[in-house]
Structure 1
Amino acid sequence: MSRAVIFDLDGTLIDSAPDIWRAANAVLEGEGLPLVTFEQSRGFIGRGARVFVERMELAVTGANEAARTTHLHARFLHFYERAHENTRVYPHVAEALKGLRSAGLRLGLCTNKPFRPTEAALRHLGWSDLFEVVIGGDTLPVAKPDPAPLLEVIARMGLSLPEITYIGDSETDAETAERAGARFGLYTEGYRKAAPETLFHDFLFDDYRHLPDHLAQLKTA
């Protein structure tokens, strides 16, 4: 069994898509631009805030202009840090995290959500002290699916790849794990677009009550 479990955040532990959508439309409304639908907004999630804004800008204006993108990105972060009202924790996540810690497993977080909105979300959820190491999408010069953020979490925890399992929900997370050479559990109820069986994984799960069993079944490093 792993010594530590490292999680993605949005789409894996929490469903923040409704609040991200509201933040996006608050920006667009303030700029006098067309609004996006919830499904559009949800489809933009996964590669970090800057890419989200680029996709949003392209959808409503038909082009990306560097200065405008930078302005929209800054406005989006302003709203994003305050967007928690409709964010919910996925079923049985809280019990699972508590159970893993009680079993002696260490917890880390590797997300493409920018660090300040990540901190704000964790504070809102009462999770500020839950994860030993937190890496956000802007902590390093690169973000997932580059494996560097995941490897940085592992390094800061003083662990090695065989000692961890990474848990995520998306194509981005699967690619990150594969490129890092990490064991990977895919939560199938998040923001993934492709069929789960087509993505890199060691196991699939749709219920956090089953996560401890999946982890226990992995070969001990």
Structure 2
Amino acid sequence: MARIVFDLDGTLIDSAPDIHGIANKVLEQERCEGISLAQTHDFIGNGAAVFVSKMRAARGIGDSEQARLYTDFVARYDDAVTLTLPYSGVLAALDKLKASGHRLGICTNKPISPCRAVLAHLKMDHYFDTMWGGDSLAVHKPDPAPLHAAFAALGDGPQLYVGDSDVDAETGQRAGVPFLLYTEGYRKFPVEQMPHTVAFSDFAELPRLVHELLVAA
């Protein structure tokens, strides 16, 4: 059976509405205009610190305010769960993968505390035997170290990585593992410009794709 590691935001869950909400609460405190949901999608992917940096730049807030705004943003993050939903077909796909004996994990650039909080809120945490956040190690994706750590925590077996972004594609490439690209998340580039083993738009396809990749290996 395989070890399958998933990205989180934009892959398994649509968390942008909640992240959008806390970003605009932070900006409201600064008496600044909020950012749009489209901007939120664009800023997600490289972790909370980069998100805050892009949010600041969009509103002309200086670098000297980064640490303070980051602290404010992260303080709100654990409670940013009420608007977040799993993508269609995710739960059924995870059920099938678990029933087939695969071991599942999370490797995300989201800080580990809000990662655990949102998965617990959605009652999805039981699917995963290991979770690695953007602050679990000294480095984060696209450095492959967190992905390697997630696979190591799952034991032995073939490795598959599932994600939605250019960051995930680079991480999978640098880790040297097959990458399954979910095309309906927060992708910023055309599919053909992102290195991937297979691409899919519907989670109902995922168990079959996993089986086919393992048979072909």
Q: TM-score normalised to the size of structure 1?
A: 0.94
Partner in structure 1 of residue 193 of structure 2: 198
Contact 1:132 1:157 in 2 (8 A): yes
- Does the Cα contact within 8 Å between 2:85 and 2:122 map onto a contact in 1? no
Q: 1:139 to 1:12 in 2, by over 3 A?
A: same
User: What is aligned with 1:133?
Assistant: 130
Q: What is aligned with 2:207?
A: 212
State the match for 1:14 in structure 2. 13
1:116 and 1:180 map into 2 onto residues whose CA distance is 25
1:62, distance to aligned residue in structure 2 (A): 5.4
**1:130 Cα deviation (Å)?**
1.6
CA contact (8 A) 1:188 1:205 kept: yes
Query: 1: distance between equivalents of 2:2 and 2:38?
Result: 37
Q: Which runs of 5+ in 2 are unaligned?
A: none
Cα distance in structure 2, aligned partners of 1:135 and 1:98: 21
Query: What's the CA shift string for 1:27-58, capped at 9, x where partnerless?
Result: 11112223211111211000000000011011
TM norm structure 2: 0.96
What secondary structure sits across from 2:126 in the alignment? Answer: coil
How many Å separate the matches in 1 of 2:83 and 2:33? 22
After superposing on structure 2, the runs of 4+ consecutive aligned residues of structure 1 that deviate more than 6 Å are none
Residues 104 and 154, structure 2, Cα contact 8 Å, conserved in 1: no
Deviation readout 1:90-123 (Å, 9 max, x if unpaired) = 0010000011000111101100110010011011
Match of 1:31 in 2: 30
Query: Paired residue for 1:56?
Result: 55
User: Which blocks of at least 5 consecutive residues in structure 1 are unaligned?
Assistant: none
**Is the contact made by 1:26 and 1:79 (CA closer than 8 Å) also made in structure 2?**
no
Distance 2:168 2:45 in 1: 9
Tell me, yes or no, if structure 1 residue 170 matches structure 2 residue 157. Answer: no
Q: Distance in 1 between matches of 2:122 and 2:162?
A: 19
Identity %: 45
Aligned residues: CA RMSD = 1.2
- Give the deviation of 1:3 after TM superposition: 1.2
Corresponding position of 1:40: 39
**Amino acid of the structure 2 residue aligned with 1:150:** L
User: Which residue, out of 123, 147, 152, partners 1:150?
Assistant: 147
Matching residue's letter, 1:135: W
